[in-house]
A and B are shown apart, each in its own frame.
Chain A
Amino acid sequence: MKLSYYWLKDLSGIKISPEKMAEILDLHLAETGVKKLSNLNLENIFVGEIIDLKPHPQADKLKIAILDLGKKYKKLNIVCGATNIALGQKVPVALPGAKLSTGLEIKKTIIRGTESEGMLCAEDELGLGKDHTGILILECSAKAGEPLEKVFELDDTIFEIENVALTQRPDLFSHQGMAREIRACLNKPRGEDQKFKKRETKPDKMVEVKLEDKNACLRYMAVILDGVKIGPSPLWMQNRLKNLGLRPINNVVDITNYILLEIGQPLHAFDYEKLGGKNIIIRKAKPGEKILALDGKEYGLNENDLVIADATRPIALAGIMGGEESGIDEKTKTIVIESANFEPITIRKTFKRLNLSTESSLRFEKGLPVYFAEAGIERAIELMVKLTGGRLVSKIYDLTTPLAQARLTKKRKILINLRKIKEIVGEEISDKEILEILKSLGFEIKEIDLVKELTKLAKDQIGKPYKYGASTFIEAPNVFDCSSLVLWLYRQIGAELPRLSIEQASYGERVEKEDLKPGDLIFKKRKSDNLIFNKNRKSDFPKDFPQGVGHVGFVLEKNKVIHASGDKKKVVIENLKSFLNKDFVAAERIIKDKIGLVVTVPNFRQDIERQEDLIEEIVRLYGIEKISPRPIIGVSLPASPEKKFLLKKELRNILVGLGFDEVYNYPFSASRGSLELVNPMSPEQRYLRKNLLERLIRNYEKNSPLFDDFKIFEIGKAFSFDQEIKQEDRLAGLIYQKAKPRIISESYTGAKPRSELGSTTGGKEQYWSVKGVIELLFEKIGLDKEEINYQLVLNPSYKQETAVSLGRETIGILGLLEDKVGIFEFDLEKIFNLLAASREKIFKPISAYPPVNRDLAFLIDKSIKWLDIYRRIREIDPLIVKLELFDVFESKKFGDKRNLAFHIIYQSQEETLTSEEVEKIQKRIIEIMEKEFKAQLRTF
């Protein structure tokens, strides 16, 4: 929102510099941008008063004007030919050195023998407008000697505050509201808002106003003016609008816009003659209805859109934009001015759907105070009469719903606790200062004997009719049910209670029957025949009160109780004893203090609902910069990250140690297979990614021309759905090596297949590289590598893919994208769940006895997996402590077989092994290999 410094200065009556004003707004309200205007060059042009006017001795058509320019220049002679000047007028005077918008530079000259010390200017010569019919005559309030720039506020300073920072403050979307706020910030007594004359007139013209939708429109005011002359609005008004970014249109429209900026109430003007049937109906649109709006576009409407209609068609989109067909044009003579209050959500839904945000909808969507409508229409009448020549020719129509009526008459109260306020602020602000701040903002504060006030109010309600489900805002205090009575009572002293008696029963502090005091609430069991309660509805029978709560009464002094009785159909007074006699459930105390400070919220502050809101106000005006930082006082327990966060951190560190660079990619994908976005910003964002590899492969394509080798990884979420929606953490990596490997990855086999054939897995360095990485990762994070299975799968996307599983779960894949590119992707959720609850490492004693190393080599069928052999041999004897494959060799001469060679390390914890013992086990191995794997022992 944009604000004019001059305007704020006028309305607040506070004379401070623009810089100071910006600082106040910035410190106490919201971040404020500042822009100094200077759109026209009006240097050396001042206001002059014509103090004498003489004929020119040499020329009939010319005059000599004597001008007073204040202190600096007294009595200037200027020769002028315009016919519209007269004695006493204030006019713009261009002095030597001034440059007019026509390009003319002013100098002293002699005109027909008479010296002219400057020039009187017309509107167009100043660049202020197009008029050239005569000299621009200024308002008589202009001061002689004042720079012209000031008169038209062309040197104004514009403050800009982001709308979102003021979302909860609809009262500030106007200069009047902001001026009020500035006074409060400077702790000046709150100036009254401008008062406008209430006008009465004998109705001469009529419209029929019908408020059909009382939910979407809370108040509708209208008035008719006749004899309106459409033309441009005065320059000062045009300039204020222009300075704030609005385009002047004509006097009527400009006045409505001016009032919108001045007091914050959006208005609309219709051409009376264009209203079909002279009807104004506030209703929802009918399916298929359309409206041509003032922006020249046609909008299709549906039954959720609120419109203003005449007898036949919508004539305005309520609270958003008027219709072209009922709008003001140059021929308009009679106008209807609307000043209304629309319900925020209705307006918001429509302008969001139509993508038609306006100054008006901006204010209505935040919920304007209902009383603004009155101020708006009164100000409109005043300005229309003054500036358009219009006459008031109707009564002021004012249709108000019960809700609006309640808002107009009822003010919210808040019971405050100064000690608690200071505790939350964390700064010792004096009571006096707190109260002063609240008062300056328009809050009234009263010290009240709470119980006395409550009991007095309670007694006043005796005899009022009972109505089940009575509204606590609109209907109270005219009708009550039992819980609305106590809620309403407590609201009057600023304390809030839940609406239902069952909720109220656990809200305060429990008291015993014997300790009851005035102000306490007594809750009784529901009656079994009461149909309001639903046996199956859990909330009717909460844990605290399995018997349910169905009635509540308010304790008075002298052992009396007041309650709204459903049986007697009214609010009654009863003896405490008889009230307690039957169905007693519990008693509660809502307030502990006898005396309390009750704050009454002014009706322009609908955003203030509770003490926390007041704390914000107090800190804001006290000055947040004055609050000193203080550490939290309290128990601080050892803190740790979630285990999954730690696991990811650990994986990152291991991978970086292995030479991997980490990337972060966008979690979107152009290809189907996962969840679809409703509003992607580009085709690349149509879906959420289902894996991480897709983007890693793009990273590879981007980096491979730049680097000969790299390893990259990403940890992030992938998305999918079947029965349920999943978003799981994944780890994906990619290894690229153009040249021969320099850093040899150590997998636990220690072997890389050699091959003379080159057609099998042999030769694909990167495959073994990624596998080595994965094995190392698993070992580091504590997954049992012996439990992990690798299964070759076929995937057309990749050159080779292996599924990795643990137990029955597939936990990821690894493989080759192409010969030089190894890839892997793992599901960290699954891995995390499979990790042992305790990942603590357990020390294995180191044997004091020497290990014995032996090697064996076999020719063995290619279809037999190393892992099966490995597991079988490890089973044979506990003295085999290590089994390391060191060579895999394939050759034509072996046919379907391959050569596997491995180290076997024997070691005992108890003794030095003898070669006999080792040989015995060696023999067992050879036997098993030959028998179970049809292997053929080879000699070295």
Chain B
Amino acid sequence: MRENCDVSLPGEKQANGHLHPFSQAINQLADIFLSMGFEVVEGPELETDFYNFQSLNYPPFHPARDMQDTYFVKNPHGKENLVLRTHTSNVQVRTMEKRTPPLRVCTFGRCFRHDAIDASHEQVFYQVEGFVVDKEISVSNLIFTMKSILSAFFEKEVEIRLHPSYFPFTEPSYEISFTCVNCNGRGCSLCKGSGWLEIGGSGMIHPNVLKAAGYKEGEWQGFAFGWGLDRLTMLKYKINDVRWFHSGDLRFIRQF
């Protein structure tokens, strides 16, 4: 090269695409789950009442169904409407009935909520779910597993906090919060000063779910947890509005 060559000139532009932040988060989470021995499975978005509700211990007309604002789809072949899955938990019995434990499974996918959209709530949202079925599985294992995965995902040690709650398909059931990754628990605008971020639900798999899967009563135990992937992704990349995800706006996508 000549001595007076301006080496600060930009190089030739190369083709370079961008994975949607959801895909990036899913890839990263899948790697973490895999490293802990969880296999990755997928389930249908258009689902029957059985897998979305009944097999998960939501009897017909149970008030717990109100927790789920459900989109229904006309069934061209039958009387009973189909549903757009309200959670990725439809994968639980679908997987269990095909398999014999021990099971360590995770799943990622699109879910639907029949409710108004705002900056933090989408009608079409994504969940990440993990569940384990084995001989001796405890609440303490559940806490460890969730803490490890969240710490790995945010690349810093986080603490987990559980609140007693109610979901028909787990017993006991807990809401999960973890240390605010923005302020490390000191309190900021993101966590509304509490130092904690809510991320989803969890619990020990209800015996009725294991029964619906065809397992012999009392033989197996398990835990399950489901988190908002939208929320995790927003936290990870500091995205301020959930509506960006489906915007199809390349000014958004090309930042990742």
A interface list, Cβ under 8 A from B: 26-31, 164-169, 344-345, 348-349, 365-366, 423-427, 507, 610, 612-613, 615-616, 619-620, 624-625, 627-642, 644-645, 649, 652-653, 655-667, 675-681, 685, 688, 695, 698-699, 702-703, 706-707, 710-712, 716-717, 719, 721, 724-725, 727, 742-743
Contacts and interface: CB of A to CB of B under 8 A. Distances in A.
Nearest to B33: A639
Interface stretch (B1-9, B75-83, B181-189): B75-83
B199 to A, nearest CB: 13
A717 B34 CA distance: 24
A619 B18 contact: no
B30 A675 contact: no
B42 interface: yes
A423 B123 contact: no
B49 interface: no
A743 B15 CA distance: 7
B143 interface: yes
A656 B221 contact: no
Contact of B138 (A426, A659, A679): A426
A628 B147 CA distance: 11
B249 interface: yes
Per CB-CB distance, the 3 closest pairs between chain A and chain B, nearest first, are A426-B138, A426-B140, A659-B15
A716 B173 CA distance: 32
Contacts of B71: 677-680
Contacts of B254: 661
A30 B164 contact: yes
A698 B172 contact: no
Contacts of B160: 629
Given A167-B63, A661-B17, A663-B20, A727 B171 contact: no
B64 A164 contact: yes
Contacts of B161: 625
A663 B254 CA distance: 10
In this complex, the member of B18, B134, B145 whose beta carbon has the largest number of chain A beta carbons within 10 angstroms is B18
A31 B175 contact: yes
Interface string B134-156: 11111111011101100000000
B138 A616 contact: no
Contact of B172 (A29, A610, A620, A645): A620
Nearest to A632: B141
13 contacts: A348-B61, A349-B61, A426-B141, A612-B207, A616-B171, A628-B143, A631-B145, A632-B141, A657-B17, A678-B73, A703-B249, A706-B250, A727-B45
A31 B163 contact: yes
Nearest to A641: B40
B5 to A, nearest CB: 23
Given A631-B141, A678-B71, 5 more contacts: A349-B61, A632-B141, A637-B102, A641-B30, A659-B16
Nearest to B136: A423
A679 B72 contact: yes
A427 B64 CA distance: 30
B224 interface: no
A727 B44 contact: yes
Contacts, number: 244
B250 A667 contact: no
Contact of A612 (B22, B171, B251): B171
A616 B173 contact: yes
A30 B165 contact: yes
Given A612-B171, A627-B139, A628-B140, A164 B147 contact: no
B10 interface: no
A636 B67 contact: no
A625 B139 CA distance: 11
A606 to B, nearest CB: 14
In this complex, the member of A28, A168, A169, A661 whose beta carbon has the largest number of chain B beta carbons within 10 angstroms is A661
B248 A667 contact: no
B212 interface: no
Interface in B84-139: 102, 104, 110, 114, 116, 123-124, 132, 134-139
A706 B251 contact: yes
In this complex, the member of B41, B67, B166, B246 whose beta carbon has the largest number of chain A beta carbons within 10 angstroms is B166
Interface string B8-33: 00000101111110110001001001
A164 to B, nearest CB: 5
Interface in B173-220: 173-175, 204, 206-207, 217
Contact of A702 (B22, B110, B204, B248): B248
A652 B23 contact: yes
B38 interface: yes
B63 A662 contact: no
A30 B66 CA distance: 18
B239 interface: no
In this complex, the member of B81, B136, B147 whose beta carbon has the largest number of chain A beta carbons within 10 angstroms is B136
Given A31-B165, A627-B140, A629-B143, A675 B171 contact: no
Contacts of B63: 167, 344, 348, 365-366
B126 to A, nearest CB: 8
B162 interface: yes
Nearest to A727: B46
Contacts of B221: 424
A739 to B, nearest CB: 13
A625 B164 CA distance: 11
Contacts of A717: 45-46, 110
B253 interface: yes
Contacts of A634: 102, 134-136
A526 B247 CA distance: 66
Nearest to B40: A641
A629 B147 contact: yes
A688 B174 CA distance: 33
Contacts of A615: 171-172, 204
Interface in B27-63: 27, 30, 33-34, 36-42, 44-46, 61, 63
A641 B166 CA distance: 31
A632 to B, nearest CB: 5
B134 to A, nearest CB: 5
Given A657-B17, A662-B20, A702-B248, A167 B67 contact: yes
B42 A645 contact: yes
B196 to A, nearest CB: 10
Contacts of A742: 13
B76 A721 contact: yes
Contacts of B207: 610, 612
Contacts of A721: 76-77
A627 B138 CA distance: 10
B245 interface: yes
B221 to A, nearest CB: 6
A453 B207 CA distance: 27
Contacts of B20: 662-664
